[in-house]
Amino acid sequence: MMLDRDALLLAYRTMRRIRDFEERVNTEFVAGRVPGFVHLYSGEEAIAVGVCMHLDAADYIGSTHRGHGHSLAKGCDPKGMMLEILGKAEGLCAGKGGSMHIADLQRGMLGANAIVGGSPPLVIGAALTAKTLKSDRVAVAFTGDGGSNQGTIFEAMNMAVVLQLPAIFVIENNGYGEGTAAEYAVGAKDAARRAAGFGMPAVKVDGRDFFPVYEAMADAVTRARAGGGPSFIEARCARIHGHYCGDPQTYRSKEELTQAREVHDPIVGFRRRVLASGELTASELDSIDRLSAEEMDAAVTAAHAGTAPPLEALYTDVYATY
Amino acid sequence: MARTSFRQALNDALRSEMRRDSRVVVIGEDVAGGAGGTGVDDAYGGIMGVTRGLVGEFGRARVIDTPITESAIVGMAAGAAMTGLRPVAELMFVDFLGVCLDQILNQAAKFRYMFGGKARTPLVIRAMFGAGFSAGAQHSQCLYSIFTHIPGLKVVIPSSPYDAKGLLIQAIRDDDPVIFLEHTKLYDLEGEVPAESYTVPFGEAHVLREGGDLTIVALARMTHVALEAASALAEKGIEATVIDPRTTSPLDEATILESIGVTGRLLVVDESNPRCSVASEIAAVVAERAFRDLKAPIRRITAPHTPVPFSPVLENAYIPSSPAIEAAAMELAKWS
């Protein structure tokens, strides 16, 4: 599949912005300025971007506890996200959600979800809305390899097949559910083969490489919009950080970590490829790097300047009416 | 006004709201029945016949038969609610919340708060509940206290055909997730129900009977048992007020407290197990806010702290009875 220069630039820019955002969140966390838990997406950028480049604001995604990358790829404002992660009133969720509950419904981002396997049933609901209202929208459920073993995704996949919903299940297999290897925990050793058993097209791609993800998603999205029902994509990838910020990762060998960081970095790989092919130039990419760094520095500065939510906010937004 | 059954009142509510708003869809196991089978299409109309006839008028795109898959039913309904539909999901028996509680407790109930007030989740989850059919420990529970405990959910428990219709229409028009519970023993109950559409607001108790000697608070089927006891008590010269809160979240505390101001005696009748129950909550509200009005200790008549037994003899002993209410009321009346 040929991508034009604008698409390549967009892919690189979005991956770079995600990485820059996450590395700044890491810095903030280490400095003790982030309340609660944070799970970083660094190393998995090719998946969020390869998938979300096929979507527009009217399409839906449901995310995971590792949701910053999905949010940015779906168009969420990094400033609003950083404010939220630092618990500020000006955050995307008014400081009431935090890293694990970032949502932006106007952009079709139905929420990070701190329950592993929590999103897929909700996402098929968004797909049901699309089908019922004949809106041509699609809904994507991101889940990890850990979540791939939850009954909720099995139920959601079966329902999506039975009702022929425009849903796409994307499993980001980063090799570990918290600290337990997918090799151990995924009984079939193969989440895609398991998904195929539910009666939908299921493919496996290298999630460290933007291009195969983008191509697999092109097929899935075309099928969904044409009324052809759900699809499944398993994208293998590797976390650059641990399960959470501060995870000592003793369950991974030093060699494996080095491989993830130095050999399989999806952004480095993308850059190498488009430079080698001559499709993009180093100065173009460097300029994206510079702008991205500036944007994310500004997001951090804005987040530091944000204000704490007023105490009355504790009691509001429980109900629409009560 | 026509005499209508509780079951038909619910059907009327669904039909009128589906006619009024094309975003209202019904989702669940056998809500039509017959999908993919070799027989008729509207085979069940819901396991209790509440949704009968809807598929004929609105089609399978809006009356959606699902597999037996509660997490996906409730989750799908919640996701659809969040994105523009107004789904009414049927969970069949409330006991089955055990297999999909995450989608209710951690998902639907939390969206609005977690997302800073930006989510709207106009979702109704209907389920039947209650003992009395020898259906055993997994099809007879009375679990509204679990939902009442959770911020973000509204909990509605009608006791009459009139309330069933008006409260269900209100629930469908409401922008928050509503747990709508129907007592199994009430489906055949008949009462006056207007043919036209109307709503019964949440958080407004219904005073079913007024008397100056004691206040009985009861829900759903227990309101009928309480009224029976109140009639028997009246013959003995004890006049009871009987209050049906109708919704436990929001709870109309004011009507209960006002009545305690008159009677000074509270008896809560609850088919639930007693620990951390709605009965406990009402008792606590009155103890905290109307202590000076009380002339007697607060009494709760509830099911015991046991699962619902199967044998009819045991099940009858499990369910709060009119004689038990009478006896407790007689004791309370002695205090002055």
Q: Could you say which of B69, B77, B114 has the minimum Cβ distance to residue A155?
A: B69
Q: Quick one: pLDDT at residue A1?
A: 67
Q: Quick one: pLDDT at residue B31?
A: 96
A125 touches chain B (CB under 8 A): yes
Domain ranges for chain A: 5-304
pLDDT over 70 percentage in chain B: 100
B206 counts as catalytic: no
Question: Which contiguous run of DSSP H or E holds residue B240?
Answer: strand B240-244
CA distances (Å), origin A243, targets A270, B306, B318: 24, 42, 49
Which of chain B's residues have a Cβ under 8 Å away from the Cβ of A118?
Answer: 102-103, 106-107
- A298 in Cβ contact with A79 (< 8 Å): yes
Question: B40: which residues sit within 8 A by CB, 6+ positions away?
Answer: B34
ipTM of the complex: 0.96
Which tens digits make up the pLDDT trace of B288-314?
999 999 999 999 999 999 999 999 999
Question: What do you get for the CA distance between the two ends of chain B, in Å?
Answer: 43
The yes-or-no verdict on residue B56 having pLDDT over 80 is yes
Two domains, one topology: B2-193 and B206-333: yes
Work out the minimum CA distance from A261 to partner chain B, whole angstroms.
Answer: 33
Which chain B residue shows the shortest CA-CA distance from A88? B116
Which chain B residue shows the shortest CA-CA distance from A60? B83
- CATH, domain range B2-193: 3.40.50.970
Which tens digits make up the pLDDT trace of B138-196?
999 999 999 999 999 999 999 999 999 999 999 999 999 999 999 999 999 999 999 99
Which of chain B's residues have a Cβ under 8 Å away from the Cβ of A122?
Answer: 75-76, 78-79, 82, 103, 107
Which tens digits make up the pLDDT trace of B96-109?
999 999 999 999 99
B114 vs A97: CB contact, 8 Å cut-off? yes
Q: Which CATH class is domain A5-304?
A: alpha beta
Please, which pLDDT band fits residue B41 given cuts at 50, 70 and 90?
A: confident
DSSP per-residue letters across A156-224? HHHHHHHTT--EEEEEEE-SEETTEEHHHH-TTS-HHHHHHTTTS-EEEEETTSHHHHHHHHHHHHHHH
Q: What is the mean pLDDT of chain B?
A: 97
Backbone angles phi, psi at A183, to 5 degrees: -55, -35
CA distances (Å), origin B106, targets A101, A114, A115, B117, B153: 11, 9, 8, 16, 11
Please, which pLDDT band fits residue B232 given cuts at 50, 70 and 90?
A: very high
A322 vs B107: CB contact, 8 Å cut-off? no
Mean pLDDT across B224-232: 98
By the 10 Å C-beta count (0-12 exposed, 13-18 middle, 19+ buried), B313 is classed as: exposed
Which chain B residue shows the shortest CA-CA distance from A101? B114
Domain ranges for chain B: 2-193, 206-333
The SS3 of residue A7 is: helix
Report residues of chain A scoring pLDDT below 70: 1
A137 counts as catalytic: no
Architecture per CATH, domain B206-333, reads as 3-Layer(aba) Sandwich (3.40)
Q: Quick one: pLDDT at residue B181?
A: 98
d(CA A97, CA A143): 19
Question: B56: which residues sit within 8 A by CB, 6+ positions away?
Answer: B41, B42
User: Which residue type occupies B296?
Assistant: A
d(CA B332, CA A88): 53
Which of chain B's residues have a Cβ under 8 Å away from the Cβ of A230?
Answer: none
A315 touches chain B (CB under 8 A): no
